[in-house]
Amino acid sequence: MSAITKIDLWQVLDSRGMPTVSARVSIGEKSANAIAPSGASTGAHEALFLRDNKASYNGNSVIETIALFTKEVLPHLIGIDGNDFAELDKNLRNYDSSRTFSKFGGHIPVAITIAAWLATAKESNVEPFTVIADHLGSTPTLPLPMVNIFSGGAHAGGAIDLQDILAVPIGATSIEEAMEWVWKVRESTKSLLSKSGHDQSLVADEGGVTARLQSDEQALEFVSDGIIKAGLSGKVAIALDVAATQSFHGDHYQIHEDGNLKKLSSEQFVSRWSKWLDIYPIISVEDGAAEDDTDGWKQQQENCDRIQIVGDDRYATQNDRLLNGIATKEANTILIKPNQAGTLHSALTALTTAKKDKWGTVVSARSGDTEESWLVDLAVGSNAGQIKVGSTHRSERSAKWNRLLELSHFATAPYIGKAALSHVKNLNF
C-alpha cells in the first residue's frame, strides 16, 4: 500500500500569470508536485475553478479556498492509498459531492490526485506513464500531436473567431519527424504573415502565431499556404478548434466577416465550416457547435465518417455527458482535460468509456497551463492516441513536447501516428 503521509497546498501562478494551486503529496520518503491548470474558454459543465474574490490579485487569489480545503478535507486524506485512484476520488467527493466541485472547486482535487499519481510512480521507481498503463491495462504508445499554428478567439484577443488552427502531421513516421514538420509549418505561416504586413513579435496564450484578419477563411489560407511553403502538402493536415460556445448568444451565433458582425442560425453556423472540408485539408473539428446547442450537434453527424468531430465543452470530460454523446452518435472523439473532470480518476473513466466505444481520445492542456509535463505521461500510458498542448513556442508548451521527445528516445513505446485516426472511416485527406 502506498499510503499518503502528507499533503501540502500553496498558491502559484500559471502560464497566464493567474493564481492557481500547487499540491505536494508525500508517500513514504517520496513526494511529487502537481499544479492545476485553468482555461480561458471554460465550459458550463466542467469542474469549477473557484477564486477568492477578495483584494488579493484583484479577486483572483485561491488562498482562502486552499485554507478552507486544508481545514475541512485535508486531514481525512492522510493514510489513503495514493495508488488507489478510485478511493482517493471517493474520499474527495465525500466532502464535495457536486459534479462540478462547487464547494471547493476542481482545481484542488485535480492537483492532489495528479500529485498522488506522480508520488506513487516515484515510490515504485517507475515512469509515471507506467503507473497509468498498469491501472488501465493499456499498452503505452507515443501519441499523434495536434499543434497550434494560428490562434484566435479567447486565446488571442479575438483576432479571428476560430480559437485555434492546428497542424496534424499524419504522414510522419516518428515523433521526431512529426515535431520537425509542425515546426516548419509554424515558421512558414509566420513568414507569410510577416510578409503580408502582420506584426509577428508576439505570440498567443498557447504559443501560436496570430494576426487581426478579415475572416476565419483568411487565416485558413495562411496556414494552408504555410503547409505548402514548408513542402508538406499531403503530409500535414489541419485541425480546428471552433470553440463555438464563445460565439453563441442565446439562440444564434455571431461571427466577424470582412469587418462586419453576422448572425447565423445553428444550421448556417455548422454549414459554414462544413463547406471548408472541401477546400482545406481539415481532418478534425472541435466544438463545431455550442455546448448546449443540440440541433447544431445533430447537424454535425453527417461529417463523422469524414473527420473527427471532437467534443470539448460539450462533454467537459464528464462521463455521463460522454455517454449521452455516444448514444446519440453526434460525435466520434472526446477531448480529455483532467481539470474539467476534477480528479484523475474521473478523467480516466471518461477516457476508458470513449475507447471502449471506439471513440477517439485527445489528451489536452489548457491555455493557462504550467511548466509540468505529466500530461504527456497520461497520454502515453493511457494509449490515448492524440495529444494537444499548444504550439512549439512558450516554455510551458515545449516542456511537454520535450517530454514526448524524451520518451521517444528512452522508452520502448511505439509512435502511433496516423493509426490514431482509425476511428474515422473515410478520412478527409
User: Catalytic residue numbers?
Assistant: 206, 337
Beta bridge partners of 21: 11
Residue that the C-alpha cell 471506439 belongs to: 358
Closest of 242, 253, 275, 269 to residue 166, by C-alpha: 242
**Please, how many CA atoms are within 13 Å of residue 231, restricted to the half-sphere of its CB?**
2
Helix (H, G, I), strand (E, B) or coil at 283: strand
Distance CA 85, CA 365 (A): 21
Q: Which are the contacts of 305, defined by CB distance < 8 A and separation ≥ 6? A: 424, 425, 426
Torsion of CA 123, 126, 127, 129, to 10 degrees: -90
Residues in Cβ contact with 159 at an 8 Å cutoff, skipping those fewer than 6 apart: 151, 152, 204, 210, 211, 212, 213
Give the Cβ contact number of residue 212 at 10 Å.
Answer: 13
User: What is the rounded CA–CA span in Å between residue 403 and residue 146?
Assistant: 15
**From CA 409, how far away is CA 326, in angstroms rounded?**
37
Residue type, 245: T
Residues β-bridged to residue 26: 6, 31
Burial (CB count within 10 angstroms: exposed 0-12, middle 13-18, buried 19+), residue 55? exposed
Concatenated DSSP letters for 44-110? TTSPP-----STGGGGT--HHHHHHHHHHTGGGGTTSBTT-HHHHHHHHHTS--STT-TTT-SHHHH
Dihedral pair phi/psi, residue 385, rounded to 5°: 100, -35
Angstrom distances, CA of residue 143 to CA of 52, 135, 193, 279, 427:
37, 19, 30, 27, 18
